[in-house]
């Protein structure tokens, strides 16, 4: 499911038998000009797998850091303006 409040917010949800995920991307004017981007990802294991979340928490956090680095790089390279 996708919720879209252009140009300020996009929310994407996904659900499978083992995982529920919600990503929210929010844009706002930054102090002094430019745009502030906030990306929040909530990924949850379901059922019995939820008992083992601690085993993959580091991997999920690493995915978030990689996504953040990719966004920063894309903006620095001007790819957002194409």
Tokens of 40: 């929040």
Asked whether residue 67 carries a pLDDT value surpassing 70, the answer given is yes
Say which residues have a Cβ less than 8 Å from residue 59's Cβ, sequence separation at least 6.
Answer: none
Instruction: Please tell me the total number of residues recorded for the chain in this structure.
Output: 82
The pLDDT tens digits for 12-47 are 999 999 999 999 999 999 998 888 888 898 988 999
> What is residue 64's predicted lDDT score, i.e. its pLDDT?
85
Could you write out the DSSP letters of every residue in the chain? -EEEETTTEEEEEEE-SSEEEEEEEEEEEPTTSSEEEEEEEEEEE-GGGGGGHHHHHHHHHHHHHHHHHHHHHHHHTTGGG-
pTM higher than the cut 0.85: no
Mean pLDDT (the chain, rounded): 89
């Amino acid at each position: 499911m996708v919720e879209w409040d252009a140009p300020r917010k996009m929310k994407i949800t996904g659900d499978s038998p083992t995982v529920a995920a919600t990503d929210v991307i929010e844009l706002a004017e930054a102090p002094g000009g430019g745009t502030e981007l906030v990306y929040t990802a909530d990924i949850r294991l379901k059922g019995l797998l939820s008992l083992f979340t601690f085993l993959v928490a580091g991997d999920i956090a690493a995915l978030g850091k990689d996504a953040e680095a990719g966004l920063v790089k894309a903006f620095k390279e001007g790819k957002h303006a194409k």
